[in-house]
Each structure stands twice: as C-alpha cells, then as structure tokens.
Structure 1
Amino acid sequence: MSVQASNLESEQLPDPTAGPGGDLSKIAGQSPTKLAIGRFRRDKLSMIAFVVVALYFMAALAAPFLVKFGVLDPTSFNSDLIDGNSGGLPIGKFGGVSWDHPLGVEPGTGRDVLSRVWYGITFSLAIAISATIIAIGVGTVLGIIAGFTGGWLDAIIGRSIDLTLSFPQTLMLLALSSMGVALLAQYLPGDASSDIPNGVYVVLVLGMFGWPGIARIMRGQVLSVREREFVDAAVLLGAPRRRIYFKEILPNLWAPLLVTFTLTMPVYVSAEAALSYLGVGIHPPTPTLGNVLRSSINYSSADFLFFFAPAFLIMIIVVSFNLLGDGIRDALDPRAAR
C-alpha cells in the first residue's frame, strides 16, 4: 500500500529543479547580473530612456569633433540673417528656420541655434558628470567610514551632514561666486572671466554640497553589509581598515551606487541650467544648455523656437535619466513589483 502511494506521489509531483518543459538548461547558469539585465530589457520604458541617454552621450562626445571639422558653428555671427528694423529678430518664419539652420538663428547675433544647443550638451554633460563624481566619491567614502566604524566618528560625520544640509546651496553659490572664481583663477589657466575657473567653481560647489544625501544612503547600506560573514572573516584575519572599506564593502555597493549616479546626474543637469540662468557658471559665447536658455528668455514670445529648443532638450534629458534610474533600481531588486 505504501509503495503504491509513493509511486503515485512521484507521478503527480513535478521535478522542482526542472525549467519550463522540463529543460534544466533554460534556467542553468543565470547569474544575478544576467537576471537583472533580463528584467531591465523587458521594461520598455526604461529601454527607451536608455536609448535617449545613450544618444545624449554620443551627441556630447561628437560635438567637439563636429565643431573642429566645421559641421557645427556655434560662434559665428550672421548679421545678414538678422532684421535690424525688428529689434534684431531673425529674418523669416519660425526664427529663421532653413536647411542651413534647422532650428533657426539666435536673435541679435545670427548664430546657429542647433550648433549652440548641440555644443552646449558637451559642457552641460561635463559639469554634471564631474559634480556627480565628486559628490558620489565624497559621500561614498564618508558613508562607508561612518557605517562601518560607528561611535564618535559616525557622530562627527552625521553632524557634518546636518551642517552641510543646513546651508542654502544656491544662495551660498551666488554669494561666493565672485570670490570663489577669482581664487580659482589664481591656480587655473585663464582669468576670472574665462570658462575654466567658472566651470570648476560650479563643479566644486555642486559636488561639495551634494554629498550629504549620498553619504546617508551609503551609510544605511554599509550597516547591512558589515554584518555579513566575509566582513567578519576579514576583521578576524587582521585586515587593515582600508582593505575592508575598499576591497570588502565597496564592491557590494555597486548596485545602489549605479542607481544613485543615474538619479544624481539629472539633478546636476538642471542645476547647471538654473545657475547659468542666474548668471553663475560658464558665460557666453561658450554655450551650455543653461546659458542658451537664459539668452532665449527675452525672446520667448517673439521667437518661440529659440526658447523651446534648449528647454525641451533639458526636459527630455532629465526625464530620461530619472526613468533610467528607476528602471535600473527595479531591475536590481528582484522583489520589486513591475
């Protein structure tokens, strides 16, 4: 009787190790990275955002070469395309749109809008990436130290985070801009009105005011990682703190770091645009998305395309980065609902 019951159960219960259709090879050898990539590729909205972001990086990298070979010309004045009797507005409809100038020309100067917007992507991207790297680098190191060490060192870093967050970032940047740029101009090539000191100043301020939130995120992750067996083993073997920080703990933070990077980048893209609008940062004639948008404000009604082009591009970039960050976060978390 028991033998028959056992045979019946073996016929009814499926093999728990078999994949769909009983083929074990379909589920064998799937690493967490491959599973995350598969989940990400099934998210159509995230894939669209990934393509947009990839095109954004490609455009930023290609712009300097296109300017060098004369394909783009963001600085040349075309006075023959400007109507002096209408206050400097472009000649023709839609801001002087033509085959040579697909987005028209800039009022007052006649510079090609497409060239300025495209070339501006490069400088906006350089500022955003540099500030993001500084913020993530400082925040990650301090977050690891605070989370693993604890005690009085954790308390000092925590109070430093609270102190940094208490400063109004934008007001501080505006108030210290003249002094900060003049100080950097003493150590960097160019004077206080050139692009390098102004750009470096914006990068440093954004990065040094952006690390506290990242440090808190990393500290919370480290509090979980430090309880794992491999960390305990490294401590018992007498590994130095530096090795524990950067060889044992840091490799296990790549997932939150990747998500943090994709979510921080759009913040600094929009921050650069806002600061350029307020007159801080790289100044014309060198274009960024921010200062091109600032130049277009006075012509938003008379030449709407000139205003719409940089504003729309900033919006697309920020939304795409945010969607990409959300998609990566969901792909790396197998428990997230899709």
Structure 2
Amino acid sequence: MAISPLGIDDSADQADADPEKDLSGEAIAGRSPFQLAMEQLRRDKVAVICLGIVIFFYIVAIFAPWLCDLFGVQVDPASTAERTESLEYDGYPAIGPPRHGFTWDHPLGIAPSVATDNLASWIYGCRTSVVVATVSAAAATSIGIVMGLLAGFARGGSATVLNWIIDFFLSLPFILVALATAPIIIMRFADQPELLDAASLIALVLILSIFGWMTLARLIRGEVLSLREREFIQAARVIGVPTRTILRRELLPNLVAPIVVYFSLMLPAFVAAEAGLAYLGIGVVGMPSWGQTINFGSGGGYFNTYPLYLWAPILGILVLVVALNLLGDAVRDAFDPKTRR
C-alpha cells in the first residue's frame, strides 16, 4: 500500500494510472473469449469425461488393424473350412456364446451364419462410423460456412439466388434421396465389385454432407447480416478492402463460436444417421458397420437367442452418440455467453 507524504493512501490512484496492474502491483493477464471457454470446459467434469470417451473411440478407429492384431481377431475367417468348423448345424457359433462358454479367442463371440468375429466387426464398425461422421461433418461445415457468408454478405439478386438454393436443399426429403441413390450406385458398380465399396462410402459421405449444411448456412447468414452493418466492416469497404478479404479476415473470426458449436453437435447426428442408413440397407457395403450388424441381427431374430451379437454395436452407438451430444452441449454453453454457467 502506497502512502503519500500527507498520509493519504494513493494506491487506488496508481491502479487507475496503470490499468494493466491490480492494487498489489501485479500485471493483469487478459484472456480472450476462446480462452475463457476452454477454461470452463476444463472445469466441466462431464465434458472432460465425454472428451475422454470420444478420444477412446477415435483411437479405436485409427488403430483398428493393430487392435485386431493385438486381440488376435479378424473380420473374415481365413478359409471356408474354418467358417464351417466355427458354426453348428443351425448356423449358431460352435464356440463361445450364446451356447458355449467365454473364450479369449473370440471375446465378443462369433457372428451366426457368417462366422465373422464380433470384436473385429465392432472395431472396424467403429472406424466406419467415426470416419463417415467426421468427414461428412467437416464437409457440411465447410459448405455451410461458404454459403452462409455469401448469402449474408451479398445483396440484390445474388442474395435472392443464394437464399433460394438454401431453401431448395431444405425442401428435399433426406430419406427419399438416400433410398433412391443406393440402388443406382449398386447397379452402376455391380460389375465392378472392387469399386463398389469405395463408391458406397463416397456416396454416403456426399449424401450426409449435402443434407447437413443448410442449418449452419442459415445461422451464419443471420450473423453476417448483423455484422456487415458494423463500423469495422463499413470502414474496410470504404478503404477498398476486397470482399474475399473482408469475409475471411473480418467476418469469419467473429463466427468461430457458432461454427465450433454446430460442428460438435453435427458429429453425433451423423453417427446416428450412418447407423440408421446402414440398418435400412442403404449405407456402406463391403465393410463392417454397426448399423449392418444390427440390421442382420434383428432380421435374423437373434435379439432373444443371441443378445450379445446385437448389444455390442447398440452400446457402441449409444455411448458414442451420448458422449458427443453431452460434449457438444458443454461446448455450446462454454462459447455462448448467454448460456455460460
């Protein structure tokens, strides 16, 4: 505490003279809104736990081949004879559940009728869901950012056309387009089985991307409509800054929070959508998928007789989607000052 010659405490006056220091004389470290949001996320125990769960699933997806080698499992039996030896006369597994005891050779059992290892199918199914959801969400977010910036900043006829495009895609029925696309791809690549797997994966990513960007575009358009009338945007236009520079350097940094929030909420939606489409038979083909396993298990009537075969992929989808949703809610609360706890 600083005392003047007249005996007056002038520490408050010194603090006012030096606004970057507090009363103790220590420098005050400023924090950006992003740093405040990250600090809140670190204090949120639910968000930290969900982030750990999401990281676990991504590790499983990235290192799927090595994990299968570690557990000594593979998706398809090495030979027809091995498949025959692994199944009983009615198609149920000859080793492991549901009729036999637990075995480390197949920790989650063997798929009936096809004799594929359930653990290997679960691991590669996780890779399919994570890859499809991440790539689709990234593509949809990129399209939504571009369309939202252009639709919000454009004026006159250009703005009308861009808004019409957004409304047109919003009016398209997602399920009907997906149902119509799957048979076309199968017929187109029926004589090229080596390309059918990749074509079905690319088509699924395109479908999810094309039908996932409109909400973000409308959100960004509304933000841009309010930001484009601000003084810093008007000043940039007066001094002749190109439009693309204004969009990239002036508007886009102010839209980071809604973009991050929307991307975090889009991931669980696409995980569930991929599994749902695979369950309907219009997802990826030629590669393991949680939705395909559920489709085969429920169609074969194994829900009561072989519950492990169905519950493994169902629990995988449930845990991943719930963790992503809770993490997305935490990100939204952290980046939105109006809902910040």
TM-score, normalised relative to structure 2: 0.84
Q: Any idea what SS the aligned residue of 1:195 has?
A: helix
Report matched runs for 1:1-338 at 5 Å: 24-25=26-27, 28-67=29-68, 71-76=72-77, 78-85=83-90, 87-94=91-98, 97-180=102-185, 182=187, 185=189, 190-191=192-193, 194-284=196-286, 286-297=287-298, 298=300, 299-338=302-341
1:181–1:192 contact (8 Å) kept in structure 2: no
Cα offset, 1:9, TM superposition: 10
Instruction: List runs of 5+ in structure 1 lacking aligned partners.
Output: 1-6
- TM-score normalised to the size of structure 1? 0.85
Deviates more, 1:105-114 or 1:151-160: 151-160
1:21–1:93 distance in 2 versus 1, CA, 3 Å: farther
Q: Is the 8 A contact 1:123 1:288 kept in 2?
A: yes
Alpha-carbon distance, 1:67 to partner: 4.7
Encode CA deviations 1:108-166: one digit per residue, 9 max, x unaligned. Answer: 22221111111111122221122212211111111101111133222222222222222
**Contact 2:75/2:117 (<8 A) preserved:** yes
Contact 1:293 1:311 in 2 (8 A): yes
The structure 1 segments of at least 4 consecutive aligned residues displaced by more than 6 Å after TM superposition are 7-13, 15-21
Distance 1:70 1:156 in 2: 55
How far 1:266 sits from its partner (Å)?
1.0
Q: Kindly provide the CA deviation profile for residues 274-314 of structure 1, in whole angstroms up to 9, marking residues without a partner as x.
A: 11111112224x20122122222121111101100101110
Letter in 2 for 1:32: P
Note the aligned Cα RMSD (angstroms).
3.1
3-state SS in 1 of match to 2:330? helix
Matching residue's letter, 1:109: V
Distance 1:106 1:156, change over 3 A: same
Distance in 2 (CA, whole Å) between partners of 1:148 and 1:105 is: 57
Distance 1:243 1:182 in 2: 45
- C-alpha separation between the residues in 2 aligned to 1:248 and 1:205? 32
Contact 2:268–2:324 under 8 Å retained in 1: yes
